[in-house]
Chains A and B, each alone.
Chain A
Amino acid sequence: MKALAARRHHRFAPVVLLLLALLVTGGVYAAFAPSPASADSASTEDIETGQKLFQANCATCHGPSAEGSDTVPSLVGVGAAAVDFQVSTGRMPMQMEGPQAIQKPRQFDEEQTAQLAAYVASLGAGPAIPTDEQVDAALGDPSNGAAVFRTNCAMCHNAVGAGGALSEGKFAPPLWDTSERNIYQAMQTGPQSMPVFNDMNVTPDEKRDVIAYLIEQREGSAGGLDLGSLGPVSEGLWVWIVGMGLLIGAAVWIGAKSS
């Protein structure tokens, strides 16, 4: 302490004190300041910002008050979950007309997405964004998920979620890279050609089981390279390319004149 006291008249002392004061003030503010807005606790401010974003980016097609038109769906009552799914996967805003909206790099960051979701949720009651616990694969039962998936999802998305074709160029996308939250939201809101699996149909627990099943698939196949998990067609292709390819190569080698 003596050393400190001896230097209290040092000419840099005020500077050091000032820096310390700033640090403390900043630290205290950071600790007590209100946390950033999230969709769960949407403030009026968020809704207003969301509305502005909506007017600037979405209203061209969905209409100034999201009422939709003959060809574009109304967003009244679709809920925050639908907005979060469409915007966070980059499907909305739509890049171009086509059989269906294509996934692409997202255009809005998380905060903006939350604000848009808050605005749309304020237009009418709809499914909310699921909590982390609702989509936690570790809490789900993959066995039950497999059964639910087989009965409800596999006819379009393939047995392990590798995707499949629908009519007229539409398709059920592969689910390898889809986030747990998005999988849940897709079941809740039924984007594009997908039917809605509401909580009466597939309960929230079953939805989590499905997520657990799909996450389990990402570990790959016990049998080796999964060849795209596309079933017998890719297996057939590979038996011709690898099997017959190597063996005809060997046959040419063996059949070549020994001289």
Chain B
Amino acid sequence: MSTSTAGPAEATADYLDQRTGIAGAVKEFARKVFPDHWSFLLGEIALYSFVVLILSGFFLTMFFVPSMGLIEYHGEPATMNGQLMSEAFASTLHTSFEVRGGLLMRQIHHWSALLFMAAIVTHMMRVFFTGAFRKPRELNWMVGFLLMILGLAAGFTGYSLPDDVLSGNGLRITDGVVKSIPIIGSYMSYFIFGGEFPGEDIIPRLFTLHILVVPGLILALVALHLFFVVLHKHTQYPGGGRTNANVVGFPLFPVYVAKAGGFFFVVFGVIAAMGATMAINNVWNYGPYDPSPVSAGAQPDWYMLFLEGSLRLMPGQTEYVIAGYTLSLNILIPAVVIPGLLFTFLAVYPFLEAAVTKDKREHHVLDRPRNVPVRTGLGVAFLTAFIILALAGSNDLIATHFHLSINAITWVFRVLLFVGPVIAFWITKRICLGLQRKDRELVLHGHETGRIVRFAHGEYIEVHRPLDDQERWLRVNYTAHAPLEIEPATDSRGVRRKGYKKDRRLQRLSRFFYEDRVEPVTPSEVAASHSHGEHDALGAADDTHAVESGSAVGGGSHIVSPDDTGSTTH
């Protein structure tokens, strides 16, 4: 009901509400609670850099000419004046040197693309290591995974548009990879490029993909991704009072609207500062594309560097000619099989873990990475493989900057690619188990205080301060999953059971995951350790410093080596 006394704001709100019923939605959203933690803002960096990408990309489309028609360019810079080039490259130069703010926009666009992928990867790491992909969020993990793939696609299609030598080299590699696919490869290459590479179709085609199809899909999936976040509620880190049934944090309005809105401007500001001060992809250095030249240090943007490294590591002798047909395993394995394996691992991991855990409960409280040692180890192993491949893709720069032999580096990385992840897995798992044992130790015995007390009878003890409730909650409130138990191979009448072999395989995998585990401290263990402490307290009753007496539940200080107190007490 609108009245004449209402201000214009209320009047507008009322007008909208009467026609859309929006008040309910606003009420719902404004009260949506988000938990406070810096790592929950990583996804926002990705979202905001995507917004910057759209804004700056919109500007760039106003000046870009997606055509491979050849023209003679006249204008800045002097090193390109009078050269024959495609209209795409010429319009990129024109945008950079003639359009006011054009170079800034190009650099902002490119930096935010790099940042977009970096934020996606970091966000994905956070979700992986904290187990935020568990039920009910497996589907949202898949959506996020697809967003990452689409981010790669957006980066790849955009990177190629200026039609400079470096991006053309990238397209040539793509052409090679497509052609390495047995039987259909060469047909696909001709289909993609509209004839023999490079043809005249690829830039317009990539342009349509880059400005319409890929960003459209990303936008749709981002909407789905955020819808899922609202639907599932946000996960939260473990801690006192945080359960699967609640979310501890601040309401969207006004706290998170301000925080997240402010963060958008921080992200925009950082990207703009980078675009204004740091040169990126100076295409005029590389020159207009021509299939013959390749410059030293030809690499793709960082998120594709693992593919480049994979290709650089593969020995070239693995190309076979069978009955007149070439089988290029030297390209097929590093550029199709290896990324395929890496991406498959990422895509299926939530389902794999659910299968070996047989855990059908919903999880809204995150895992501490140490409490799931094998998952954390696998994640670190994956990152190790990714980083080794990326470094291998930069092997020439490592060689020149550290004065090493590129051949030696390549061999080291070839070995490390197989050995490194295994070592990284093992070390990470051991560190996690060690941290868990440390947690057990703390819960049972409390903090060391460094206070040494001497009893009347001459015995020395160190006073331990018990954990407070928050600290203890954090350390005991988790589940250490045990390997799966399966039904026997034969039933009671000795008939072989169907599906036994599958169960057996799953059990083996489950053992790999959960055989080594540290159980959380149980209440009875805490009680037992406290009763030890009470014994000591009785023995040392004459010393007021030894025990902070009177704390019945959590207060009993545990004292080191409690077993011999009885015999030595006077």
Contact = CB atoms under 8 A, between A and B. Distances in A.
Given A233-B299, A254-B38, A143 B81 contact: yes
Interface stretch (A61-69, A71-79, A236-244): A236-244
Given A165-B396, A244-B118, A247-B270, A146 B403 contact: no
Given A150-B165, A159-B285, A171-B400, A224 B114 contact: no
Nearest to B165: A150
B293 A164 contact: no
A159 B408 CA distance: 25
Interface string B252-291: 0001000100110011001100101111111001110010
Contacts of B77: 222
Contacts, number: 209
A136 B295 CA distance: 25
Contacts of B45: 244, 247, 251
B301 A255 contact: no
Interface string B302-314: 1101000000000
B263 A251 contact: yes
Given A154-B295, A167-B406, A243-B270, A235 B38 contact: no
A162 B407 CA distance: 21
Contacts of B303: 236
A232 B301 CA distance: 5
A251 B114 contact: no
Nearest to B303: A236
B173 interface: no
A165 B278 contact: no
Contacts of B281: 232, 235
A30 interface: no
Interface in A151-196: 151, 154-160, 162-169, 171-172
A103 interface: no
How big is chain B's contact interface, by range?
A: 35 or more
Given A159-B285, A230-B297, A251-B42, A143 B263 contact: no
B223 to A, nearest CB: 23
A164 B400 contact: yes
Nearest to A233: B394
A238 to B, nearest CB: 6
Contacts of A257: 36
B287 A224 contact: no
B297 A223 contact: no
A169 B404 contact: yes
B47 interface: no
B263 A254 contact: yes
B129 to A, nearest CB: 15
A241 to B, nearest CB: 10
A145 B79 contact: yes
B292 interface: yes
Interface in B36-68: 36-42, 44-45
Nearest to B42: A251
Contact of A159 (B40, B287, B301, B405): B287
A50 interface: no
B280 A223 contact: yes
| Chain A interface residue number, banded | 35 or more
Q: What secondary structure prevails in chain B residues at the interface with A?
A: helix
Contact of A154 (B271, B296, B406): B296
A224 B106 CA distance: 13
Given A164-B400, A239-B118, A243-B271, A233 B297 contact: yes
A150 B295 contact: yes
A146 B278 contact: no
B111 A243 contact: yes
Nearest to A230: B297
Interface string A220-231: 011111110111
Given A143-B78, A151-B293, A236 B276 contact: no
A255 B42 CA distance: 11
B279 A243 contact: no
A178 to B, nearest CB: 16
B38 A224 contact: no
A160 to B, nearest CB: 5
A54 interface: no
Contacts of B119: 244, 247
B417 to A, nearest CB: 18
B152 interface: no
A205 interface: no
Nearest to B164: A159
A20 B241 CA distance: 103
Given A227-B278, A255-B40, 9 more contacts: A159-B286, A169-B405, A222-B282, A232-B281, A233-B302, A235-B110, A235-B301, A239-B115, A255-B39
25 contacts: A99-B405, A143-B78, A150-B287, A151-B293, A162-B297, A165-B296, A165-B399, A217-B285, A222-B103, A223-B279, A223-B280, A224-B277, A227-B279, A233-B393, A235-B110, A236-B303, A239-B111, A239-B115, A243-B111, A251-B42, A251-B45, A254-B41, A255-B41, A257-B36, A258-B36
Interface of A: 99, 142-143, 145-147, 150-151, 154-160, 162-169, 171-172, 213, 216-217, 221-227, 229-240, 242-244, 246-248, 250-258
Interface of B: 36-42, 44-45, 77-83, 96-97, 103, 107, 110-111, 114-115, 118-119, 122, 165-166, 250, 255, 259, 262-263, 266-267, 270-271, 274, 276-282, 285-287, 290, 292-303, 305, 393-397, 399-400, 403-408
Q: What are the 8 tightest A-B residue pairs by CB atom distance, in nearest-first order?
A: A236-B302, A164-B296, A223-B279, A255-B38, A154-B295, A165-B396, A221-B279, A169-B405
